[in-house]
Amino acid sequence: MATGPKILVPRLVARSRLIHVEEVDLEFTNGARRTFERIPGGADSVLIVPLLDAHTLPLIREYGAGSERYELGLPKGIVEPGEGPVAAANRELQEEVGCAARDLQVLGRVFIVPGYIGHCSLIALARALYPSRLLGDEPEPIEVVPWRLDALDALLARDDFDEARSLAALYLTDLPNRATPGAGTRRRPAGLSGPDPCGHLRPLAVQGSTVNVRP
C-alpha cells in the first residue's frame, strides 16, 4: 500500500452548528504539495437493514434537506457519545420504525465521500424484531413503508430510493440474493403477507412515526 501524504498545516476556515470545514496542506511522497478542503468526521452514524420477517424490509420516508424532497431509505442516525454502534442501531430502530431487534449485527462500514468528508456509516443487520417504541427528535412523523424482498427490482427503479448508503447496505447484507429468483421484475406495490412481528398490519399512528402498510 502506498504511503500517504504528510499533513503539514490544517486550518479551520468555516464553522456552523453541525459541521466545520478545514483547509489542509499536504506534501505527497513525490514532493508535490497541494491544499485540500475537507469536512472532518465527527461521531459515526449507523444505518440499519431491518427484517420484519424472511420476506419484508421496513423502509422509512423522510425529508432530505440536501435533496429538497422526501426520500425513501433505511433507518439511520448518529452514534451518541458513550453509546456503542449496536445500542445506537437498536435505539434508532425503535425511534424510527417502532421495533427493537433481538439479533443485531454490525457488518461493516462505508465512507460517504472519502475525498473530502471524514464521516463513515456503520451498516447493521437487524433480525428477530419485536414491538418497542422510543421517542426520537424528528420534526414530523416518519412514514414506515414495509417492502417485500421479492420486489427489490421495483425498489431500485424508484427515483426516490437513491441514497448511496441504503443501496450499498442492501448488497452488504446480501438482500438481493434473499429474494425469490425471477421475482420482482415488475413494479408492484409493497405489502405484507403473513404475521407481522411488529404489529403493523394496518395503518398505525404512534409516537414520532406513522406506519403505513400498503395492501
pLDDT over 80 at 80, yes or no: yes
Lowest mean pLDDT among 14-28, 72-86, 184-198: 184-198
Q: How confident is the model at residue 117 (pLDDT cuts 50, 70, 90)?
A: confident
Dihedral Cα 119, 120, 121, 122, nearest 10 deg: -140
* φ, ψ of residue 23 in degrees (nearest 5): -105, 130
pLDDT, position 78: 92
> 74 and 18: one domain?
no
Q: What confidence score (pLDDT) does residue 97 get?
A: 96
> Are 103 and 167 part of one and the same domain?
yes
Q: Is residue 161 part of a domain?
A: yes
Whether residues 143 and 205 fall in one domain: yes
Cα-to-chain-centroid distance, residue 211 = 18
- Percent of the chain exceeding pLDDT 70 equals 81
pLDDT single digits (tens) 142-188: 999 999 999 999 999 999 999 999 999 998 888 766 654 444 333 33
With CA atoms as reference, report the closest residue to 75 among 97, 54, 57: 97
pLDDT over 70 at 3, yes or no: yes
Q: Over range 41-46, report the average pLDDT.
A: 85
Q: Based on the domain organization, do 28 and 119 belong to the same domain? A: no
Phi (first) and psi of residue 192, to 5 degrees: -105, 145
Q: Are 152 and 171 in contact (CB under 8 A)?
A: no
**Residue 14 sits in the same domain as residue 75:** no
Domain-embedded: residue 200:
yes
Q: Could you tell me if residue 1 is inside a domain?
A: no
CATH number of residue 99's parent domain: 3.90.79.10
**190 pLDDT exceeds 90?**
no
What pLDDT score does 1 carry?
64
Specify the DSSP element, H or E, that contains 214. none
30 and 56 share one domain: no
Same domain for 104 and 135: yes
Quick check: helix, strand or coil at residue 197?
coil
Which pLDDT does position 147 carry in this prediction?
A: 95
Task: Show the domain range for 17.
Answer: 6-38
- pLDDT for 119: 86
Question: Is pLDDT of 207 > 70?
Answer: no
Q: How many domains are contained in the chain? A: 2
Q: Exposed/middle/buried for 181, CB within 10 Å: 0-12, 13-18, 19+? A: exposed
